[in-house]
Structure 1
Amino acid sequence: MTDPRRAGNPLWIAYEYVAMVIGLGSLAIICIGWLPFALIFNPLLSRARGQRWGRYMIMDGFQTYLNVLSRFCACRFDLSELDQLRGEGPLILAANHPSLLDAVLVVSRLPNAVCVMKASLMDNILFGAAARLARYIRNNNPLEMILSAREELQGGAHLVIFPEGTRTVNFPIDPCSPSTALIAGRTGIPVQTLLIEYSVPYLGKAWPLWKRPALPLHCRIRLGRRFPAPASAAGLTRELDGYFREELGRKSTHSTITS
C-alpha cells in the first residue's frame, strides 16, 4: 500500500510514471534482445538442448527484469520459498493469478519450469519465439495440453499452471477449471499450490497496462498445501478451489504485504 505521506505528492506521482516506463521498457528490451537468438536456435538446436537453453535464458532474463524493478522501481519481492522446490523432482505448480507478473515471478526461480500458456501469447511477437524454444505448452487444445504436460513431467519438469485459466476477476479467486486435476490424474504427479499475494492488484484484470503503479509494490509467494494425485479429477478441482478461497481469503491480496 502506498505510504499516505506520499499519496498525492506530485514528485512521487511523477516517479511512479517513470518507474512504469522503466519497468515496461526493460521487459521489452530483454524480450527483444533474446528474440533473434530464439528464432535462430529453434531450428538449429536439438529439442533437448533448445529446451534447456530456452528455459535457462527465460529464467535469467526474468531475474534480470525483477532486479531492475527492485533497484529502480520501488518493488519488493519475497520469492525465497520457491527455492525449496529447485532440487525436487517433477511437480505441478498450481497458483492463483492476480497479475500479469505471476508467471515471471515463478519462472525466475526455477530453471526447469514449463508454463501452460494461452495460444495468443505463444504467437506473440515478443514472447512467442522464446516460449516455443523452451517448449512451453499451449492451452487451446485440452488433449494436446494434457499429453504435452505428461511428457514434460515425465522428463522431470516443474509444470506451472493457473487453475483459473486467466487473471482473477472476482477476488480472492475465480472458479478453478478441471485442467490441473486432469493432468495430475493422468500423470500421477502431486499438485503443489502457490499462493501469490500483492500489496495492490497491479496489472490485474482491472489494472490497465498504462495505469501507473501504486508504489512501493510488495509481492510474496508462499508454498501452500501439496495435494497428491487424485482418484477423481472433479474431487481435486473442488479441493483446490476451496483451499485457495480459504487461504487467500484470510488475507486479501489487496492488503498490505511487508517485505
Structure 2
Amino acid sequence: MQPKFLSTERRDKYWLRLLATATAFSLFGLGGLVLRFIVFPPLKIIYRDQEMRKRKARFCIHLAFRMFIGFMHKAGIYTYNFQDQEKLCIPGQLILANHPSLIDVVFLISRIPNANCIVKANLFRNPFMRGAVNTAGYIPNDDPEKMIEMAAKSLENGESIVLFPEGTRSVPGRPLKFQRGAAYMALRSGVTPTLVTIRCNPPMLMKNLPWYNIPFSRPHFQFNITESGSFLQVGEKEETPLVARKIIQELKAFFTEGYTA
C-alpha cells in the first residue's frame, strides 16, 4: 500500500483546491501591496514613536496573516490544528520551529500578536513584502553577528522572535541541518527556546516545488508547542562555539524525533 502522500488519486475536490490555492497566492500578493500603500503610511503619521509604530505594524500583519490562514482553511485547501497555541502568546519568547512548508511563518505569526522575525535579506527588496518587513522592523539575515545582536535586543524588549534554525525549508527524507544562529541568540539573550514541531501530511508547498504542485489529497498541518526548559537550559551557559554546537545537537535531536514520530 502506498503512503498517503504518494497517492496518485486526486481526491478532496482537487481542482477546486488548485483554484483556491491560486486565488490565495494572488490575495497574498495583493495584501502585501495593501499593507504597504494603504495601511502602513497612516501609521507613520499617527505613531511618531518608532517602537510603537513597529508594534502596530506587526499587529496588522498578525491580523492579515490570521485572515489569510482562515481563508485557505475555509476554502478547503488544508486543515490545521494548534496544540497549546496559547503558549505562543507569552511575550519575549525565542520560538524555534522546523520548516516543512512555505507558509509555516504565516501560520506562526497569525498566532503571535507582536512577532519579530528573521527574514531573508532579499525580502527587503521585494515589492510585495518590503513595506511589511521594513515597517515591522524585521531582522535581515545577511549579517550573522548583527542578526544575533538585534534578536537579543528584541527579546530583551519583550518581543518574541520567530526563527527556523534550518534557515530554509526542509527536504523530506534528508537529515535536518541546523545553523548555529539560533543557539547564539538563546545564549546571548539567556532565553530558553520555545519549540514548535510542524507536521504537514501530505506535504504541501515544499522546497523546490511550485505553488501549483499541490498534493492530491487535502493536507493537514499539526503544530505542537513544547517548552524546552526540561532539557535545554541556556541562562548560565557561556557563549562559546562548543556550547552552541551542543545546543544545536540537542535541537536537531528533538526536531528529528518529533518530525518522524
Normalised TM-score (structure 2): 0.86
1:133 aligns with 2:128: no
- List gaps (5 residues or longer) in structure 1: 251-259
1:153 equivalent in structure 2 = 155
Mapping for residues 19-98 of structure 1, pairs under 5 Å: 19-37=20-38, 40-41=41-42, 44=45, 45-86=48-89, 88-98=90-100
2:258 maps to a residue whose letter is E
Alpha-carbon distance in 2 for matches of 1:223, 1:184: 17
Paired residue total: 247
Alpha-carbon distance in 2 for matches of 1:137, 1:173: 27
Q: Is this contact kept in 2: 1:168–1:205, CA < 8 A? A: yes
2:104 equivalent in structure 1 = 102
Q: Pick from 166, 169, 179: which aligns with 1:167?
A: 169
Give, in angstroms, the shift of residue 39 of structure 1. 5.6
Give, in angstroms, the shift of residue 82 of structure 1. 2.2
Normalised TM-score (structure 1): 0.87
- List gaps (5 residues or longer) in structure 2: none
Q: 1:71 to 1:89 in 2, by over 3 A?
A: closer
Q: Pick from 228, 232, 256: which aligns with 1:245?
A: 256
Give, in angstroms, the shift of residue 213 of structure 1. 4.2
- Once the two structures are overlaid, the 10-residue window that deviates more, 69-78 or 112-121, is 69-78
User: Cα RMSD (Å) of the superposition?
Assistant: 2.3
Alpha-carbon distance in 2 for matches of 1:23, 1:173: 31
- Once the two structures are overlaid, the 10-residue window that deviates more, 125-134 or 39-48, is 39-48
Alpha-carbon distance in 1 for matches of 2:49, 2:174: 42
Alpha-carbon distance in 2 for matches of 1:141, 1:90: 22
Kindly provide the CA deviation profile for residues 131-168 of structure 1, in whole angstroms up to 9, marking residues without a partner as x: 11111100110111011101110110111000001011
Q: Indicate the SS of the match to 2:21.
A: helix
Q: Indicate the SS of the match to 2:79.
A: strand
2:221 equivalent in structure 1 = 219
Q: 1:89 to 1:20 in 2, by over 3 A?
A: closer
2:211 equivalent in structure 1 = 209
Q: Is this contact kept in 2: 1:77–1:219, CA < 8 A? A: yes
Q: Indicate the SS of the match to 1:159.
A: strand
Identity of matched residues, %: 24
1:228 aligns with 2:250: no
Q: Indicate the SS of the match to 1:198.
A: strand
Give, in angstroms, the shift of residue 84 of structure 1. 2.1
